[in-house]
Amino acid sequence: MFKCFAQVWAISKGGPDGATTTLPVYAFQVAQSLHKYDLGSAISTLTVLILLAVLITHLRRMLRHEGEAP
């Protein structure tokens, strides 16, 4: 979902009626098309925070299961 910016942008630019718009594509559209760079930056920051939360959760689970070796 987060690593597919180039594919989504090249094929459909967010798709019909925003069907394939992801957060990175939306941030780009807001910043470049609407010239709202502050909102585009806020969306990008939110994307980074979401990814950071997922990463921390995944690392905690991975480290917890590492200690439970059979």
Q: How many domains does the chain have?
A: 1
Confidence of residue 20 (pLDDT cuts 50, 70, 90): confident
Q: For 22-46, write each residue's pLDDT tens digit.
A: 888 899 999 998 999 999 999 999 9
Has residue 6 been placed in a domain? Answer: no
Enter the pTM of the model: 0.74
Question: What range does the domain containing 37 cover?
Answer: 14-66
- State the burial class of residue 63 (Cβ atoms within 10 Å of its Cβ: 0-12, 13-18, 19+): exposed
CA 2 to chain CA centroid, Å, is 4
- State the burial class of residue 68 (Cβ atoms within 10 Å of its Cβ: 0-12, 13-18, 19+): exposed
The per-type count for the chain, helices as H runs and strands as E runs, is: 3, 0
Percentage of the residues of the chain whose pLDDT score is greater than 70:
94
Has residue 7 been placed in a domain? Answer: no
Has residue 9 been placed in a domain? Answer: no
Has residue 23 been placed in a domain? Answer: yes
Has residue 58 been placed in a domain? Answer: yes
Contact between 1 and 22 (Cβ < 8 Å): yes
